[in-house]
Amino acid sequence: MTKIEIKPITDATGCTAVEQLQLDAWQMDDNLEVVPGHMLLTFHKNGGVLLGAYAGERLVGFVAGFVGLMGNGRIKHASHMMGIHPEFQGQGMGTRLKLAQRQAVQQQGLDLITWTYDPLETANARLNIHKLGAVCSTYIPNLYGEIEGINAGLPSDRFQVDWHINSAHVEERLAGGDEEETAVPEHLILNPVVGNGQPADTTKSPNEARHFVQIPANIRALKNQDMPLALAWRQHTRQPHRLTDICEK
């Protein structure tokens, strides 16, 4: 496996490489949705965190964020983007980038990082919730409007997650490493999928404090195979009574 080094991106050349990596990671046809290098450099120079993952001299992953102000006056780190080149996905680089980001934000004296992700992206959920210990209580329909590349075709619904980086919960998750996820008891699933892959409407309401919403195993593959069915899943899971535990609290 190629040796990967994670280090800060501090100059215009590095930020230009991040522009290209955005196109590669999200398979976009043009640069209309790319965060420009001059803005990324401004992140870096004004309290933001911009980190790159390098295979030799080649930039193959990055994470970028900035200092944010919450409604109660509390300061947080707003993590805006993390991208990994398709050739290097599925190799644990996302975890390494987020841990490096956590360390950088801790050194600034902050204890909260927030970001968004698509609730139907199971790999992102596994990283954000299962491995890192982020929590979620906010669902935002069509946050970014229509977007391109791998996100094209569906409304850009997003979970907002809160990563309390100094909490006992996060420490426990990180200490757990890649331990297997436990199977969900069938009686706790609100919407068991019917035979044709359609999302199932149900009035089921378990008495337990936690229940679960089933989602497609691979939403990107489903979009390629059957876009109307993928859209049906988006509309199904955005309904309020189904949102409680796609994320884990």
Residue-wise pLDDT for 117-156, tens only, equals: 999 999 999 999 999 999 998 899 999 998 888 788 899 9
Cβ-contact 118, 245 below 8 angstroms:
no
Q: What is the pLDDT of residue 243?
A: 52
DSSP, collapsed to helix, strand or coil, labels residue 86 as helix
* Alpha-carbon radius of gyration of the chain: 19
Cβ-contact 84, 60 below 8 angstroms:
yes
pLDDT score of 246 more than 60: no
Q: What is the pLDDT of residue 199?
A: 80
Instruction: Give this prediction's pTM.
Output: 0.89
Instruction: Kindly report the number of other CB atoms within 10 A of residue 147's CB atom.
Output: 18
Q: How far apart are CA 79 and CA 33, in angstroms?
A: 17
How many Cα atoms within 13 Å fall on the side-chain side of residue 152? 9
Cβ-contact 230, 217 below 8 angstroms:
no
DSSP 138-167: EEETTTT-S--GGGTTS---EEEEEEETTS
Q: How far apart are CA 221 and CA 189, in angstroms?
A: 23
Phi, psi of 148 (to 5 degrees): -95, -175
Residue range 150-177, pLDDT digits in tens? 788 899 999 999 999 999 999 999 998 6
Report the relative pairing of strands 112-117 and 75-84 from DSSP bridges: parallel
